[in-house]
Amino acid sequence: MQGAIGEIEVMKRAEAVVAVLLGAIGGVFMAASMRVGAAAPNADGVFDLALRRQQPGSEDRAFWRTIESPAAWKASETAVIVCDVWDLHHCRRAVERLAEFAPRIARLCDTVRAAGGTVIHAPSDCMPEYASHPARDRVLDLVARNLPAGFEPPPVGKGTWCSGIAPESLDEYPLDQSLGGEDDDPAEHAAWAAELERMGRNPKMPWKMQSALVPIDADNDFLSDNGAEVARVLAARGIRHVMLVGVHLNMCVLGRPFGLRRISESGRDVVLVRDLTDTMYDPAQWPWVSHFTGTDRMIDHVERHVCPTISSAQVLEGSTSFRSPRDTRPTVALVIAEEEYDSHRTLPAFAHRHLGGAFQVVEHHVAADDPNSIPGLARLADADVLLLSARRRGLRPAEMAALKAFLAAGKPVIGIRTASHAWEPKEAIDGCESWGEFDRDVFGIEYTGHFGNELRSTVKVAPGAAGDPLLTGIPAEGTIQQTGSLYRIAPASPQTRVLAVGEVPGEPAQPVLTDYVRPDGGRSIYTSIGHGDDLAKPEVVRVLASAVHLAAGLEPPASLDERDPHDPSLRWVSVRRGSGAFPSSEAILARFAPAEKPLWCRGVIVPDVRASHDGFLVFLRGNGLREEGIRGWFEGRALAVRGIPGGVVVEVPPMLATPHRAGTLALEVTGNEAKRAWGATKASLMRKGAPAEIPLDRLQIRYGSGEGTNFRDMPLPAMFGGPADAVTILE
């Protein structure tokens, strides 16, 4: 009895702490207590959805087109899986963010349940708390029955964590989550860990049950964190379609046995509800963008490689998509409809590199089958800033209407080079509208052609313009060479401010950077610079970044982040040694070897059953490699390292190698000589007593550089820390 009373007190304390967190958010508990069931599906009991995916826009996958396809899902054949919506988490900010949208998850569950659909709650590691819950009993009752006709249980391998599927290997994973993704600042994280300890919770894995903000219907719902059990429920209920919600997208939502990857592999339709999820991502890690931009990048990854997404607004009639109140990023829409200057490559690269910290970036490209249609313009009203690069296109009437409505609302526009004649095709196009006065109406200039392509203009700050915020970081003296031809747009209107000019020998100077307030009150910034090579110039990047910030009412950045996003020494990088699909180990080591910091080589190993009895060995064979330059850890436990003829062996004892449980193998290589030797090392794994070794050429390794014990292991479980890097030791 005393133990039960103590546990009740712990739960009350946990609820009090969460209440304080939610109080800071404002009104969330009230929203939870006032949940109202949303409208049911249509009269035929069907959810009419628009499934959003992304397709490569070019063979080199340099840009992606967003495609929406209609789908009709019968409610009785639809399930919602609620993934890991825990009561507490080791990251305080993760708790706060989840609390913001958890009531909306509950509302989605209410809607699907009321329509005759199925709701499966899957709070991993929490089943002991639900030993006698009717929703848990309902699952166990199904498990005890005979298998439904035509149902086969998933193979053992398919019922485990999935770190990646084949399509994901075609492109770079969008985030570095190798250190766990916690974005608490150190002081608040320490205070939160101490509070969790006072509650009697393990600060690393404090969850014990599902959040009270998402109630479990005892009369109808199902409760399991087991992939095979969830598969049994789906089969028994005749489920063909799955909506998945919860946290965290880059870890559990993708990787759990009931997550997006496994459900997708099962052959059922599955979608991520993209506004009811969150990521574990720390903006201090690559690619150094805001937390919410990190989530956007993961949603892009899912839409490109795993499954479609929907918004909860498609199910909850009369609502809009959820957006966190702390996500204050303005939205900049990239509208790209030209090929001559490679804007479809250069502008997204610029935006995602230099705007991701302060903005939500949304790309709108021309339709694959119609160069005069930009489907994304239909949603242009959702944007705060338009960054435009288009050349001599017509537009479908509805899309032109959306563009004009955006401008009439007084919203800002930034035009790049051919944007001056964006909607002025050389010939009329059937079914399309043109706008020949776009340059005068929107930018306060008039494009009349360009000087010869062989002439390269010299660009400099216009007289009297020095110190203008648009020129932040640009010296008043000095010039840059424009790569493309110089446009003729002089003279500009009297209301247009000219901030930079270009000159070619023997011709009058031409404006190349202008600022104009339109009659509707909106601001328009235009530059005739925009050749692909121009956007590689730091001065041009500075001006564009300042323009977008100022157009959105933000201060321009004092300086640009000059870190190279492709520099492996600044991040953890996945490498498959000997494979052209990943950066080569030689390329990585060329950057790491001269550095003073240690080189780290890390991967996730999943021992087979027999490996647990004997442990396994890591062989590192190479001239110049000595045990003095190598240290090793498995799951944070130091390993024995000993020299052998021609190399080094690292031993993982059986007590650490638990069957089927992923563990982090981390090797630290110190000293430039050892790092250089590593590049020529032939590495392999071998279960003790097994006849054959597994070359590391077949395994994916993650490289990093730095100091600190947190480099040795990933958060628990180990597979949380990295994408597509789990390796099974074969017999």
- Residue environment code for 556-581, b if the CB has 16+ CB neighbours within 10 A, otherwise e: bbeeeeeeeeeebbbbbbbbbbeeee
Q: How many CB atoms lie within 10 A of CB 456?
A: 16
Cis amide prior to 491 (ω within 30 degrees) = yes
For position 636, what pLDDT does the model report?
A: 81
Joined tokens for residue 725 = 């890097």
Q: What is the Cα–Cα distance from 516 to 496, expressed in whole angstroms? A: 5
Contacts 24+ apart (CB under 8 A), 187-194: 188/92, 189/91, 189/92, 192/90, 192/91, 192/92, 193/90
Closest to 635 in 3D by CA, of 610, 614, 666: 666
In terms of CATH architecture, what is 568-728?
A: Sandwich (2.60)
The predicted structure's pLDDT at residue 666: 86
Q: Is the pTM of this model over 0.85?
A: yes
Spans of the chain below 70 pLDDT: 1-40, 147-158, 575-586, 593, 608-613, 659-662, 696-700, 710, 713-731
Name the token pair of 43. 């009269």
Q: Where in the chain is the domain with CATH 2.60.120?
A: 568-728
What stretch(es) of the chain map to CATH 3.40.50.880?
A: 331-551
Q: How far apart are CA 51 and CA 270, in angstroms?
A: 10
Residues 663 and 647: their CA atoms lie apart, in Å, by 24
Q: Which residues touch 537 (CB under 8 Å, ≥6 apart)?
A: 480
Where in the chain are all domains bearing CATH 3.40.50.850? 2-163+173-314
The structural architecture, per CATH, of the domain 2-163+173-314 is 3-Layer(aba) Sandwich (3.40)
Q: 331-551: which CATH topology?
A: Rossmann fold (3.40.50)
